[in-house]
Amino acid sequence: QSVDFGIFGMANAMWFSGFRLGSPGDEAFRLTEACSKYYPRPPCPDSRVMPIDVYRIFGPPEPLELGDKNTGDALGDLAFVCTQGADAEYEKKVITHWRVNVSQAFGQYSPCNFDGQRNRCLGPPAQLRAVGRRSGQGQGLGRIGGQCS
């Protein structure tokens, strides 16, 4: 059953039957090849530094700085606003524009946001050494989630 709340999303309710409670066994928690060999992904091979335009929805008490925060290009931030950023919590915020020089040796994307006290990124230390990148809402066509494309 789903309830439509307009263009900004919908709520879903699900009912399950015929399930069994218990341990799924050790095999269910074995690392996949993708996780054991390829996580986190290495940085992209192109290390040229180039200017890019990025955007971020900003509002106090968040500090007006970009370190350890998610941003998006014009299309990516538009996708964010249309899918997630239309809630009441965004009504008194503004969209900031930044032009920054960044190495094209992008790392794997990591969620980075203000946690109420400081900017924080989630992920293992090896993943946090480079500026991460992915396609908007993870929906791009490029290999490895748009990290290098």
Percent of the chain topping pLDDT 70: 87
Percent of the chain topping pLDDT 90: 21
59, pLDDT greater than 90? no
6, pLDDT greater than 70? no
121, 67 in Cβ contact below 8 A? no
> How far is it, in rounded angstroms, from Cα 30 to Cα 24?
11
pLDDT, the chain, mean: 83
